[in-house]
Amino acid sequence: MEIFTSLQKYDYEQLLFCQDKNSGLKAIIAIHDTTLGPALGGTRMWTYKTEEDAIVDALRLAKGMTYKNAAAGLNLGGGKTVIIGDPKKDKNPEMFRAFGRYIQGLNGRYITAEDVGTTEIDMDLIHLETDFVTGTSSYSGASGNPSPITALGLYHGMKATAKEAFGTESLEGKSVAVQGVGNVAYHLCDFLHKEGADLIVTDINKESVKRAVDDFGARAVDPDEIYGVECDIYAPCALGATINDETLDKLKAKAVAGSANNQLMTTKHGDMLHERGIVYAPDYVINAGGVINVADELVGYNRERAMKKVEMVYDNVEKVFEISKRDNIPTHVAADRMAEERIQAVRNSRSQFLLNEKHILKFN
């Protein structure tokens, strides 16, 4: 892998390799863009087959965070960390403390949070070494479990999607097919049930399905059946890439709005949704409630203020639809354009400021 070629291709700023022999820490921090502010992005722990796979994942995820944070209206850039190892076997407190010291050494350029394979407890260990971490335990003044907040943002984004697809934001009587009923999706189902939506659910975990059936009167279907059920909205809340050649031919929903990351297998599948008139709420815009919430910790967490910001996912999803119609482009392209326009506007203003400073110095 030609590292600098990869960094230059998508204009990454920094790639750091962190190791601690005693604890077994092998971490890669990727910082994509800090135009809008310090890079914020979680720490993922995963059993990568090769070190190159870990680098590729860190870079991909960091770029995604730049776009997510920009689209969410946050004054934050994008970054991500991957730790190579099995989160069930290889964790130890010394590992996260050592990693915290590396973050501290960046002096606020990168701020981390929990992600796949890491927990609130891990963030507390990092916090022993640095303040540049979010998602720590609520007893320390942080926001605690992010799942209900991510679900709240998703719920408001789904209402904006319904308005675009059906002419009304009301979800009462709408049928929603929820793929995966994990922590975020369970809370989403609660919001939908209270509004009077009809729920269809599936999950490889039968206990999760049973809980949704018992608590919300949901109808359960097998995992392979969820794509072809008659429904108004398909909500992918588990694995990525569930919008693909095979599933698109089965899909009967008029809208797609869910919490899963990387829902499109490729960008062509976003084009295909657009061509078929299926309203798609891009994943990194609609699932941004969690990052909006933890970002509030950086200014002293206030739950009421954070909830108001999370509700603005509705407005962000609406903006994507407006750009899509304005420029006659698919919504996944519109979401990227919205993020890029915001980043470019800040770059332009910064460049103009530097030009003005240079002009003043010239004549003084």
Residues carrying an active site annotation: 80
How many Å apart are CA 286 and CA 148, to the nearest integer? 14
Tokens 């829902």 correspond to: 263
Angle at 60 between CA 337 and CA 253, to 5 degrees: 60
